[in-house]
Amino acid sequence: MVKKAIILVAGMGTRLKPLTLNNHKCLTKVNGKPILHNALDCLKMAGVSEALLVVGYLADKIRGEIGDDFHGLKIRYAENDVYSATNTSYSLKIGLENISGYDSLFILEGDVFFSPALLKRIDGCESANVTLLEKYHPNLDGSFVEVNEHGYVIDWIHKSERESGFTIEDKYKTINIHKFDSEFAAKTLKAYVQKLCDMEDGKAPLESAMRELVRDFPQAVYGLESAGMKWFEIDDESDLKIAEEIFGGQGE
């Protein structure tokens, strides 16, 4: 089985300033290890043969640090040259247009530091299309999903789209690590991302595309809980401190 990955690393990481003024957010170190290095190492351990990095802000810095081969993992690049005016939906659109020849596809956002065990967990799930989740607790914020009694995602809510009366305590936080089979990624997901980009000029987050998709196909994406395995999404310096505490000074 051929496994490939798309990692979205085009954004400017403005909430992590001043650390991101001269360094990319994905190269920020957690206990000495850059976020992107950790993701690539985990993908390699999961049997992924190729990772496509969708770059934009400080693209040359990422290319210079990562190169075309990272510890035996083939690295390719696709560029979002309008990164300052677009969002993750547009970067994912570019990624899906530039990758092929896989049986399963991991899609990651480049600001999550996580344990290799998480990729083993999602890769071992019998569902073809799956996203990693964690039940709400006070340390978590951002995008959340709602799941049905069978564990399938039936709503996907970006923080900016929370409606009046929205309750967070009964929802699940998205870890921003997903795995899809080739047909779903190349046809269904790609079509919804393209439609959203056309409607919103690429300015909407990818969560908006996922929201429309799971509403139309409520048994398409299974929500797999993290089962206490370590991870943290890093948006600002307070998040970085929490991540370093979670990973206990080891950076792995």
**pLDDT, position 138:** 86
Task: Quick: pLDDT tens for 44-72.
Answer: 999 999 999 999 999 999 999 999 999 99
List the structure tokens of 92: 């994912």
Residue 119 has pLDDT above 80, yes or no: yes
Q: DSSP E strands: which ranges in 136-249?
A: 144-147, 153-157, 172-181, 222-225, 231-233
Task: Quick: pLDDT tens for 186-230.
Answer: 999 999 999 999 999 999 999 999 999 999 999 999 999 999 899
User: Is residue 74 packed enough to be buried (19+ CB in 10 Å), middle (13-18) or exposed (0-12)?
Assistant: middle
Residue 252 has pLDDT above 50, yes or no: no
List the structure tokens of 210: 């996922």
List the structure tokens of 175: 């870890």
Provide the 3-class DSSP secondary structure of residue 109: strand
pTM of the model: 0.95
